[in-house]
């Protein structure tokens, strides 16, 4: 019995490490009329077989290039100034991602110099943060190539209403 305990611990560590390396779930599982969610209820993208992207992912492309690409480079690829957000969106938990964008992040020291401003009061970022996130996840999983998506779904009335409510808020 005593010898089995270390084996169980090693098995648990290996299982945990394997899960940490698994790619994130980006498969669309449900839609609330405004956006797609994966099985864990985290916003995700949906791309049709003909390459048509959901409206939110297209909106995320537009918003990313309006607000984020100056530092993080076009198409989420990163720059000499800031990291590739297409990679960060694949590694970071959704709620951590939202927290960093809202509150900013500062890591300054001898080995690194990261200064992400806070966007928590900027409705042009916060009202579209799920869209930006889904666009970056689509880029990070190579579901869409660099550049403007060629085909997009039409904006729904439900999306327009949610957008208007957020921008007024």
Each residue's pLDDT tens digit, 121-159: 999 999 999 999 999 999 999 999 999 999 999 999 999
Is residue 81 a part of any domain in this protein?
A: yes
Residue 68 lies in a domain: yes
The residue segments making up the domain with residue 149 are: 50-168
**Domain annotation covers residue 162:** yes
In a domain, 155, yes or no: yes
* Of 49 and 107, more confident: 49
- Lowest-pLDDT range of 38-47, 80-89, 122-131: 80-89
Mean pLDDT for 50-74 is 95
pTM: predicted TM-score of the whole model, two decimal places? 0.84
3-state secondary structure string across 116-157: ECCCCCCHHHHCCHHHHHHHHHHHHCCCCCCCCCCCECCCCH
Q: Is the pLDDT of residue 93 over 70?
A: yes
Other CB atoms within 10 A of residue 140 CB:
21
Domain count for the chain:
1
Asked if residue 150 is part of any domain, the answer here is: yes
pLDDT of residue 109: 74
With tokens 């394997």, the residue in question is 18
CATH value at residue 123: 1.10.760.10
What's the gap between Cα 136 and its chain centre?
5
**Domain-embedded: residue 25:** no
- Our CA angle for 155, 90, 152, nearest 5°, is 20
């Amino acid at each position: 019995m005593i010898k089995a305990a270390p084996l169980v611990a090693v098995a648990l560590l290996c299982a945990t490490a394997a899960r940490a390396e698994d790619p994130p779930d980006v498969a669309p599982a449900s839609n609330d009329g405004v956006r797609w969610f994966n099985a864990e209820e985290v916003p995700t993208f949906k791309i049709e077989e003909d390459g048509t992207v959901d409206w939110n992912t297209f909106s995320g492309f537009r918003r990313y290039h309006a607000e984020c690409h100056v530092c993080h480079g076009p198409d989420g690829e990163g720059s000499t100034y800031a990291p590739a957000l297409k990679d960060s969106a694949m590694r970071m938990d959704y709620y951590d991602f939202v927290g960093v964008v809202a509150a900013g992040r500062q890591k300054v020291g001898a080995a690194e110099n990261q200064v992400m401003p806070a966007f928590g009061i900027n409705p042009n970022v916060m009202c579209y943060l799920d869209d930006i996130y889904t666009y970056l996840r689509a880029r990070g999983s190579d579901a869409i190539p660099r550049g403007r998506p060629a085909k997009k779904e039409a904006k729904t009335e439900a999306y327009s209403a949610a957008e208007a409510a957020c921008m007024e808020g």
